[in-house]
Amino acid sequence: MSKLRFHAIKESLAIKPVQVEENVRRSEIFGKNVFNENTMRQYLTKDAFNGVMSAVSHGKKIDRSIADQVSSSMKDWALSKGVTHYTHWFQPLTGTTAEKHDAFFETIEGGMAIERFGGDQLVQQEPDASSFPSGGIRNTFEARGYTAWDPTSPAFIYGTTLCIPTIFIAYTGEALDYKTPLLRALHAVDNAATAVCRYFDKNVKKVTSSLGWEQEYFLVDKMLAASRPDIILTGRTLLGHSSAKGQQLDDHYFGAIPTRAFNFMRELETECMLLGIPVKTRHNEVAPNQFELAPIFEEANLAVDHNSLLMDIMGRVASRHNFKVLFHEKPFAGMNGSGKHNNWSLSTDTGVNLLAPGKTPMSNLQFLTFFINTIKAVRENEELLRAAIASASNDHRLGANEAPPAIISVFIGEQLTKVLEELEGVTKGKLSPQEKTELKLNVVGKIPDVLLDNTDRNRTSPFAFTGNKFEFRAVGSIANCGNPMTVLNTIVAKQLKDFKVEVDALIDKKDLKKDEAVFNVLREYIKSSRDILFEGNGYGEAWELEAKKRGLSNNKTTPEALKAKISEKSIALFEDMQVMSKIESEARYEIEMEAYCMHIQIEGRVLGDIARNHIVPTAVKYQNILIENVKGLKEIFEEKFRSVSKEQINLIEEISSHIEGINSNVTKMINARRKANAIDDIEKKAMSYCNKVKPLFDDIRYHCDKLELLVDDDILPLTKYRELLFTR
Ligand code: ADP
Ligand code: MG
């Protein structure tokens, strides 16, 4: 094994940056491999084009003859680009993307063949996908799941395959993927937000939710990663002593990007351009070998697809550049973890960002309406929002020693805090003309269109308002954005729907003017949401105590956090907004709890194996060297023997005690796993993995890392942190 380590280091030192050609203008290749509006205009008949566009904009059904035309044009376009296969591309609840390729090729009479792709093949497929998680929705004998075309996300070509974004549902209609509930949530928020917009502008017909994600990741040399079974099997290091130099000098953050990584990024960006993923920024992050990439924001469904696609492409491009890309939230202990900030806002078909302050008092009142309703939605559903980002890997950030915390709070900045304070003082019921003028001039009229303090400098807030959007920062770097985006859009939809009912009631029953009614409802919302607002440092015990007083949840682990998904309130919310049925909510809970158990189980097995089969034998080997040494010293020195061999003897003892520490804790862990596995109840099982199995990881690691510092570097089998993180 140590041979592998040194072989890997040698290989990795010899790797040269892979040259990439880049003589094309990005704007020229952007979207070249996408069957987008522009391409459709060229390839589709007018009827077909209009059919697809009205499906995209208004959710209209596409009829069969149109589907036939679209599929045939799609095929012509794809064939002209050298494509041979097509696939329905979907996002099952495994967290990755799935595809099953079929050739266009079909045989016909007379030993001939043609390329065929009909409307039926475009619209619906029945992949034999019975092994994807369904949370018990499909019995295995009724295992059929269908994929169905999502025309709101354009088809694209990757390699020689035409990929058609699809939803994945059970035979009985239940969602088995991330996209289906997301589309329903986006529909719900469109309806609710459009209705509210109409208080301010009757021309609004549609509200779109937008998402701009920022993807953090690590690059590790492919050879070095391959020398670590923990990285290969779990995506993170399960042990390893921290490097003498880590991130303490902050010399990697925004520093010059190393050439190999830079070339990887350039090729990645070219691929993204071809696929119409509008990546714009790239930079080094805090930890060594950590980077970030962000696109221009897009409509949320498309942005979610693009993020999934990007993660997939990143893996492939990284491999060509001899890297392994790590999306795990905490690949290295003691280093910054990775997240995926989800920048979110709502905008109208009239071109207004509803979360950006406007130029007139009326547009600012609209802004405040959406701003305050979002805060209220988060206040009412903080626990569900926490559940939406829960996973075994994200537990290493949330609630562990890293910002953001597991407590959901909202940062809004000093200026807006003042505005809310003023609004809280608005008179109940009818407003005097003076008060109205005063409000319009000095409160609503005074929101500057540039909010100076809109950046949360300490960056510890999990949900921060940043000038013209909210930034949900607690999302995990490996997560599919579909889950948090479904929850966020659903809770906001529900909130806006309730808001409309309350405002209408005041107008109808209390005879208030529209703006008076809006002010009245917002005032009450500010009061009831105050507890979720927090501007301070969200990292540490002081905030935990404060949050507890305020009644905010602090679910530090996934099994605790996930429970909120199946509370009566959450189930009713999803049903009410027609985003998920009770069965769907419960199935997801089950799937995620299962996934949690399996994650910890796999990590436990890998850690046990490395500790016992790699670390302990190495320690014994080194201990034997020391024993030989002591024996020799004894032979040479007679009286002086004790003093010259003192350190060696201490080391021998120390090694023994660490070996004992490893063996006893691995045994404990195996027993704990055995007990956990015997539990049928999924909640109890997950809790058992969380509280009985996982804590032993730290004890085992402690002894392994100590041994790493003691034993001869020459025989240590596992590639060290400094080698993983600083080799170029
Ligand atoms: P950071 O959070 O690192 O300071 P930025 O402010 O540059 O980074 O992040 C901006 C991100 O927010 C980008 O991905 C951008 O596309 C996205 N964004 C900007 N405006 C909106 C909006 N109205 N809706 C959603 N996302 C947006
Ligand atoms: Mg950000």
Q: pLDDT tens for residues 574-599?
A: 999 999 999 999 999 999 999 999 99
Angstrom distance (rounded) from CA 648 to CA 667: 28
Determine the distance separating the centroid of ligand 1 and the alpha carbon of 126, expressed in angstroms: 38
- Quick one: which atom of ligand 1 is closest to the CA of 468? 23
**Which residue CA neighbors atom 13 of ligand 1 most closely?**
212
DSSP 395: G
Nearest bound ligand to the CA of residue 293: 1
Nearest bound ligand to the CA of residue 339: 2
- Quick one: which atom of ligand 1 is closest to the CA of 343? 26
Determine the distance separating the centroid of ligand 1 and the alpha carbon of 341, expressed in angstroms: 9
- Quick one: which atom of ligand 1 is closest to the CA of 356? 23
Task: Pick the range with the lowest mean pLDDT from 63-72, 102-111, 471-480, 560-569.
Answer: 102-111
Task: Tell me which of 343, 344, 463, 466 to substitute to probe ligand 1's pocket, judged by most ligand atoms within 8 Å of the beta carbon.
Answer: 343
Contact between 264 and 219 under an 8 Å Cβ cutoff? The reply is yes
pLDDT band at residue 1 under the 50/70/90 scheme:
very low
Determine the distance separating the centroid of ligand 1 and the alpha carbon of 296, expressed in angstroms: 7
pLDDT at 103: 85
Whether 653 has a pLDDT exceeding 90, the answer reads yes
Contact between 374 and 189 under an 8 Å Cβ cutoff? The reply is no
Contact between 293 and 224 under an 8 Å Cβ cutoff? The reply is no
Tell me if residue 513 falls in helix, strand or coil. coil
Distances 155 to 28, 147, 213, 315, 595 between C-alpha atoms, Å: 19, 14, 21, 21, 30
Angstrom distance (rounded) from CA 27 to CA 49: 24
Q: Which residues line ligand 1 (CB under 6 A)?
A: 210-212, 214, 294-297, 341, 343-345, 353, 468-469, 471
Angstrom distance (rounded) from CA 480 to CA 498: 29
* 193 bridge partner residues: none
Q: Are strands 161-170 and 207-221 parallel, antiparallel or unpaired?
A: unpaired
Determine the distance separating the centroid of ligand 2 and the alpha carbon of 290, expressed in angstroms: 15
Tens of pLDDT, residues 100-155: 888 888 888 888 888 888 888 888 887 766 777 887 776 655 557 889 999 999 99
Whether 659 has a pLDDT exceeding 90, the answer reads yes
Determine the distance separating the centroid of ligand 2 and the alpha carbon of 213, expressed in angstroms: 8
**Which residue CA neighbors atom 3 of ligand 1 most closely?**
214
Mean pLDDT, residues 208-222 taken together? 96
Nearest bound ligand to the CA of residue 344: 1
Q: Are strands 85-89 and 101-103 parallel, antiparallel or unpaired?
A: antiparallel
Q: Output helix, strand, coil percentages for the chain, rounded to the nearest 5.
A: 55, 15, 35
**What residues flank ion ligand 2 with Cβ within 5 A?**
214, 341
Identify the burial level of 241 via C-beta atoms within 10 angstroms of its C-beta, where 0-12 means exposed, 13-18 middle and 19 or more buried: middle
Nearest bound ligand to the CA of residue 208: 1
Mean pLDDT, residues 39-51 taken together? 92
Task: Tell me which of 283, 297, 299 to substitute to probe ligand 1's pocket, judged by most ligand atoms within 8 Å of the beta carbon.
Answer: 297
**Which residue CA neighbors atom 6 of ligand 1 most closely?**
466
Determine the distance separating the centroid of ligand 1 and the alpha carbon of 212, expressed in angstroms: 6
Mean pLDDT, residues 660-679 taken together? 98
- Quick one: which atom of ligand 1 is closest to the CA of 344? 25
pLDDT at 379: 98
- CA gyration radius for the chain? 29
Higher pLDDT, 616 or 430: 616
Higher pLDDT, 259 or 214: 214
How many residues are present in the chain? Answer: 728
Whether 64 has a pLDDT exceeding 90, the answer reads no
Nearest bound ligand to the CA of residue 469: 1
Higher pLDDT, 103 or 660: 660
- Quick one: which atom of ligand 1 is closest to the CA of 281? 7
Determine the distance separating the centroid of ligand 1 and the alpha carbon of 120, expressed in angstroms: 39
348: number of CA atoms within 13 Å, CB side?
A: 23
Buried b (16+ CB within 10 A) or exposed e, 323-359: bbbbbbbbbbbebbbbbbbbbbbbbbeeebbbbbbbe
Mean pLDDT, residues 554-575 taken together? 97
Nearest bound ligand to the CA of residue 285: 1
Angstrom distance (rounded) from CA 728 to CA 722: 11
Determine the distance separating the centroid of ligand 1 and the alpha carbon of 572, expressed in angstroms: 32
Nearest to 563 by CA among 601, 592, 527: 592
Tens of pLDDT, residues 497-520: 999 999 999 999 988 999 999 999
Task: Pick the range with the lowest mean pLDDT from 333-337, 418-422, 439-443.
Answer: 439-443
pLDDT band at residue 61 under the 50/70/90 scheme:
confident
Tens of pLDDT, residues 470-503: 999 999 999 999 999 999 999 999 999 999 999 9
The token duo for 637 is: 């020195």
Distance of CA 106 to the CA centre of its chain: 40
Tens of pLDDT, residues 244-279: 777 766 666 667 778 888 899 999 999 999 999 999
State which amino acid sits at residue 728.
R
Determine the distance separating the centroid of ligand 2 and the alpha carbon of 345, expressed in angstroms: 14
Whether 24 has a pLDDT exceeding 80, the answer reads no
Percent of the chain with pLDDT over 70: 96
Whether 192 has a pLDDT exceeding 50, the answer reads yes
Angstrom distance (rounded) from CA 492 to CA 186: 10
Mean pLDDT, residues 370-393 taken together? 98
Characterise 613 by phi-psi region: left (phi > 0), alpha (psi -120 to 50), beta (else).
alpha
Phi, psi of 557 (to 5 degrees): -120, 160
Determine the distance separating the centroid of ligand 2 and the alpha carbon of 224, expressed in angstroms: 30
Determine the distance separating the centroid of ligand 2 and the alpha carbon of 216, expressed in angstroms: 10
Determine the distance separating the centroid of ligand 2 and the alpha carbon of 342, expressed in angstroms: 8
**Which residue CA neighbors atom 8 of ligand 1 most closely?**
214
Determine the distance separating the centroid of ligand 2 and the alpha carbon of 228, expressed in angstroms: 31
- Looking at 15-45, list the stretches that DSSP marks H as alpha helix, in order from N- to C-terminal side: 26-29, 37-43
Q: What is the mean pLDDT of the chain?
A: 91
* 169 bridge partner residues: 146, 175
pLDDT at 84: 92
- Quick one: which atom of ligand 1 is closest to the CA of 295? 14
- Quick one: which atom of ligand 1 is closest to the CA of 353? 23
- Quick one: which atom of ligand 1 is closest to the CA of 213? 14
Angstrom distance (rounded) from CA 475 to CA 489: 15
Task: Tell me which of 210, 211, 213, 214 to substitute to probe ligand 1's pocket, judged by most ligand atoms within 8 Å of the beta carbon.
Answer: 214
Mean pLDDT, residues 536-554 taken together? 90
